[in-house]
Amino acid sequence: MVIKTDLCSYTEYRIYPGHGQKFVAKDAKVSFFISAKADSLFHQRIKPVKLRWTQAWRRMNKKGKVEEGGKKKARKAQKFQKAIVGMSLDDIKKKKAQKPELRQAREQAAKDEKAKKMAQKKASSSKPAVPKGKADKSQKLPKGGGAPAGGSKNFKGKK
């Protein structure tokens, strides 16, 4: 024998025949509550998700139902190469295909060349260094911060 049951619109518990309480709102929406407690909480506008004993809270916090497949596996990101500014994809692939010794030799040669250029630059621009010191005391500014005594022309406040 099959018993017709309804669901409580607040707690989502099964309501068997002869139990529960119906409420019809002004917009003709019918709510069926399992108990006066559920009815009262609904009318106080307390969200069922915030109450631990309701099915809505259990669903929100993933309680109860055990999934068949367990946890879903995260997909591993596929690796792919893009061309970068100054190098095409073919150039990058050629560089990767080179033997490490060749690559290191080229890098070392580039470093040596850069060091040579820096040494030449230093030698050509060797000027006598002027010591950094304090400004002359004869050019000392007044205590007011150097502003003229009459005030500034762009003053927009009260005068």
Mean pLDDT of 47-70: 86
- Does pLDDT of 159 surpass 90? no
The per-residue pLDDT of the chain, averaged, comes to 83
Residue with more model confidence, 92 or 47: 47
Q: Which residues have C-beta within 8 Å of that of residue 39, sequence separation ≥ 6?
A: 10, 21, 23, 33
Identify the residue with better confidence: 59 or 72: 59
- More confident position, 5 or 152: 5
pLDDT of residue 146: 61
How many percent of the chain have pLDDT more than 90?
A: 46
Mean pLDDT of 96-120: 87
Place of tokens 């631990």: 52
How many CB atoms are closer than 10 A to CB 148? Answer: 9
Question: Is residue 14 predicted with pLDDT exceeding 70?
Answer: yes
Please state the pTM of the whole predicted model: 0.42
Q: What band does 99 get if pLDDT is binned at 50, 70 and 90?
A: confident
Q: Is the dihedral of CA 44, 47, 50, 54 positive or negative?
A: positive
Q: What's the rounded Cα separation, in Å, for the pair 156 and 54?
A: 65
Residue 136 predicted with pLDDT over 60: no
Per-residue confidence band for 56, with pLDDT thresholds at 50, 70 and 90: very high
